[in-house]
A and B are shown apart, each in its own frame.
Chain A
Amino acid sequence: MSDFPHTPPKMSWTFSNDVNAEIRRAAATGIYDIRGGGSKRRLPHFDDLLFLGASISRYPLEGYREKCATDVWLGTRFARKPIHLDIPITIAGMSFGALSGPAKEALGRGATAAGTSTTTGDGGMTEEERGHSRTLVYQYLPSRYGMNPDDLRRADAIEVVVGQGAKPGGGGMLLGQKISDRVAAMRNLPKGIDQRSACRHPDWTGPDDLEIKLLELREITDWEKPIYVKVGGARPYYDTALAVKAGADVVVLDGMQGGTAATQDVFIENVGMPILACIPQAVKALQDLGMHRKVQLIVSGGIRNGADVAKAMALGADAVSIGTAALVALGDNDPALEAEYAKLGTTAGAYDDWHEGRDPAGITTQDPNLFNRFDPVLGGRRLKNYLKVMTLEAQTIARACGKNNLHNLEPEDLCALTIEGAAMAGVPLAGTNWIPGRNGSF
């Protein structure tokens, strides 16, 4: 051995331990990695934005004393019975199948207590969620599992799902472990098969067909229900414009941080855009068509707290939607279950093998031994608390910006901490008047 200093071992950035581990896993198993949740990358996000707050040029409203409205109307364009929610935070579509019956019940209980809506998913409508949800949005998906006119009519709104943020252009997946007798019966499939939902609707393609499809759904429901069109964050300007042209009452836009029950990791991490980049384009499409605030915009994908809600609304959204955060509120990935996560080879906070149906929290499972651990009453209470806290947080910020309604928040209330955030959100970099990409700047 020489006494001279030697070059220390150097790990590759390109071939990191994580990358090499995935190569070895693929080589050993011959199957791509499937997981739940949304993108885990560090993406440009609402964290890159700050509120400016009031000062001399604007005056704030008194916290807790002066009113700051939070309610929202959805579906005012065509529906005879638009939806009125007390708060602009809704629960995103998550299927029975992906989630247990008690988890769906808890979402209904919590959302109803907080004055907002829940949404079905790719598996039909269950009694648990209809019974416990004052306002229930019924998803109309390519698979059409469980789709029937009776449930359409007892829904409060219909959401035509074209795509979702975790996998724009991809269909759903529910692996055999979770296809229990009840799930199989609702989806009219053999028990235990790996169920792959279609990525395109079976009976329409393109915006012109979509317009006719929306007409049919309106006719079947006698023009009562608001019809949402949900798209993944891919080409938000054109998708929003085409959804409006097709006759949507509401556009739901889901960024790549939005979760899924089960999709290929390569899809989740490499297809679609972060929600921050999507909102301004969708708002611009609505403004260009003269439809901003007439067709409502709901955004989702990585909404975690009242600041995120306020930032999304300042950028022009009418409401937001939460999925992953709602599951965390129910008890998903709770460190109290660390010993059980360790047995599954993971750790609290990282658990994403929702497709395996072994969730120790009893939320993403169809195993009665697991889902019976979950208390839907307690879960509902936790969700209600969380929704109320988020709303209060958003109000706190809005009042500080001098707004007596969350919908009065505006891009002028924001600045960006990063050049990327400034360019995507279309707000100035902090301390400058520079918006990259505007006025001919690069």
Chain B
Amino acid sequence: MQTFDLAKEGLRALNASLHALKGQTNMTEWDIINPRGAHAIAAGVDAPVDITVRGSTGYYCAGMNKQATIRIKGSAGPGVAENMMSGTVIIDGDASQYAGATGNGGLLVIKGNASSRCGISMKGIDIVVHGNIGHMSCFMAQSGNLVVLGNAGEALGDSLYEARLFVRGSVKSLGADCIEKEMRPEHLALLADLLKRGEADHKAKPEEFKRYGSARKLYNFNIDNAAAY
């Protein structure tokens, strides 16, 4: 176990140390203390290591993560796990705007609530939110899965592509081209797996969710749809 005091040693030293782990596995557990809301904590890690951040983080914690499991024992600022490629990020508290933005892969778990634009432009990431999510979530989301145990804010899935959205609670409104879709057995199986991996299987059952996806009406421009924009 490596303990890293961010307040004492600084961000550059932290990320340089974490980046140096690429290709080697002999220091697999890291404890980061005194994060004090710093930005870009553990951004760009590319190693199968387990990192625990003891406190709340600023912007872009775990940005572009590959392989690592990063646990935030607090809340996360904007853009947590943005553009994640693989690995897992688990937040005990809430997440600010743009959580998981443009994520290509891996799993993001938010045990509290997520603010607006959660999963914006996501490209393959899986996101499990135990609480609620804010407005404009999954805007232009391309692929991947979003699971929300609570409620969703306004304009969910606006201009959605092929991402799948599962919401257990209410949806304040759907965005342009986002519709409710039939929940088929394969979706229930997918949800069961996501809930389990998202440490939420004790809180909700797949049958309690509704599925939302793209109506695919805006995929090719048609002037008669102009009012939808």
- Which A positions have Cβ atoms within 8 angstroms of B? 30-31, 143-144, 147-149, 152, 175-176, 188-190, 192-194, 196, 198, 202-204, 209, 212-213, 215-216, 219-223
B25 within 8 A of A: no
B94 within 8 A of A: no
Do the beta carbons of A31 and B102 come within 8 Å of each other? no
**CB-nearest residue of chain A relative to B19?**
A222
B15 within 8 A of A: yes
CA distance A203 to B12 in the complex (A): 22
CA distance A188 to B64 in the complex (A): 17
Do the beta carbons of B12 and A223 come within 8 Å of each other? yes
- Can you list 11 A-B pairs with a CB-CB distance of less than 8 A? A30-B223, A31-B223, A144-B83, A147-B102, A202-B101, A203-B79, A209-B59, A212-B40, A213-B59, A219-B43, A223-B12
Do the beta carbons of B39 and A202 come within 8 Å of each other? no
Do the beta carbons of B102 and A203 come within 8 Å of each other? yes
**CB-nearest residue of chain A relative to B219?**
A193
Q: B143 contacts which chain A residues (CB < 8 A)? A: 188
Q: A148 contacts which chain B residues (CB < 8 A)? A: 64, 83, 85, 104
Do the beta carbons of B40 and A215 come within 8 Å of each other? yes
CA distance A143 to B162 in the complex (A): 15
- Residues facing A in B64-116 (CB within 8 A) are 64, 66, 78-79, 82-83, 85, 97-98, 101-102, 104
Do the beta carbons of B16 and A203 come within 8 Å of each other? no
Do the beta carbons of A193 and B12 come within 8 Å of each other? no
Do the beta carbons of A219 and B44 come within 8 Å of each other? yes
Given contacts A143-B121, A193-B219, A202 and B43 within 8 Å (CB-CB): no
B26 within 8 A of A: no
Interface size class of chain B, counting residues whose CB lies under 8 Å from the partner chain: 35 or more
CA distance A221 to B46 in the complex (A): 12
Q: A198 contacts which chain B residues (CB < 8 A)? A: 121, 140
Q: Considering residues A148, A149, A203, which has the most beta carbons from chain B within 10 angstroms of its beta carbon? A: A203
Do the beta carbons of B79 and A204 come within 8 Å of each other? yes
Do the beta carbons of A212 and B44 come within 8 Å of each other? no
Q: B60 contacts which chain A residues (CB < 8 A)? A: 203, 212-213, 216
**CB-nearest residue of chain A relative to B79?**
A203
Q: A188 contacts which chain B residues (CB < 8 A)? A: 104, 123-124, 142-143
Given contacts A144-B102, A203-B101, A176 and B15 within 8 Å (CB-CB): no
Do the beta carbons of B121 and A202 come within 8 Å of each other? yes
Nearest CB of chain A from residue B122's CB, rounded to whole Å: 9
Do the beta carbons of B142 and A212 come within 8 Å of each other? no
- Residues facing A in B111-150 (CB within 8 A) are 117, 120-121, 123-124, 139-140, 142-143
Do the beta carbons of A220 and B123 come within 8 Å of each other? no
List 19 additional A-B contacts (Cβ < 8 Å) besides A144-B83, A216-B63.
A31-B221, A144-B102, A147-B83, A149-B46, A176-B220, A190-B161, A190-B219, A194-B220, A202-B101, A203-B60, A203-B78, A204-B79, A209-B59, A209-B78, A215-B39, A216-B39, A216-B40, A216-B43, A219-B11
B58 within 8 A of A: yes
Do the beta carbons of A149 and B220 come within 8 Å of each other? no
Do the beta carbons of A194 and B101 come within 8 Å of each other? no
Q: B83 contacts which chain A residues (CB < 8 A)? A: 144, 147-149
Nearest CB of chain B from residue A266's CB, rounded to whole Å: 14
Do the beta carbons of B82 and A203 come within 8 Å of each other? yes
Q: B224 contacts which chain A residues (CB < 8 A)? A: 30
Given contacts A202-B117, A203-B101, A215-B39, A222 and B16 within 8 Å (CB-CB): yes
CA distance A300 to B140 in the complex (A): 30
Do the beta carbons of A220 and B78 come within 8 Å of each other? no
Given contacts A198-B140, A213-B60, A223-B12, A189 and B161 within 8 Å (CB-CB): yes
CA distance A223 to B11 in the complex (A): 12
**CB-nearest residue of chain A relative to B214?**
A190
- Residues facing A in B127-184 (CB within 8 A) are 139-140, 142-143, 159, 161-162
Q: B64 contacts which chain A residues (CB < 8 A)? A: 148-149, 152, 220
Q: A144 contacts which chain B residues (CB < 8 A)? A: 83, 102, 121, 123
CA distance A220 to B63 in the complex (A): 8
Q: A213 contacts which chain B residues (CB < 8 A)? A: 59-60
Q: A215 contacts which chain B residues (CB < 8 A)? A: 39-40
CA distance A215 to B46 in the complex (A): 18
Do the beta carbons of A212 and B102 come within 8 Å of each other? no
Given contacts A194-B221, A202-B117, A219 and B101 within 8 Å (CB-CB): no
CA distance A221 to B15 in the complex (A): 10
Q: B58 contacts which chain A residues (CB < 8 A)? A: 212
CA distance A221 to B85 in the complex (A): 16
CA distance A7 to B11 in the complex (A): 80
Q: A147 contacts which chain B residues (CB < 8 A)? A: 83, 102
CA distance A360 to B206 in the complex (A): 53
CA distance A189 to B143 in the complex (A): 8
- Residues facing A in B36-57 (CB within 8 A) are 39-40, 43-44, 46
**CB-nearest residue of chain B relative to A34?**
B221
CA distance A212 to B220 in the complex (A): 36
Q: A196 contacts which chain B residues (CB < 8 A)? A: 159
Q: B12 contacts which chain A residues (CB < 8 A)? A: 219, 223
Q: B139 contacts which chain A residues (CB < 8 A)? A: 202
CA distance A222 to B12 in the complex (A): 8
Q: CB-CB contacts of B3-15 with A at 8 A, as 1s and 0s?
A: 0000000011001
Do the beta carbons of A221 and B44 come within 8 Å of each other? yes
Q: A176 contacts which chain B residues (CB < 8 A)? A: 220
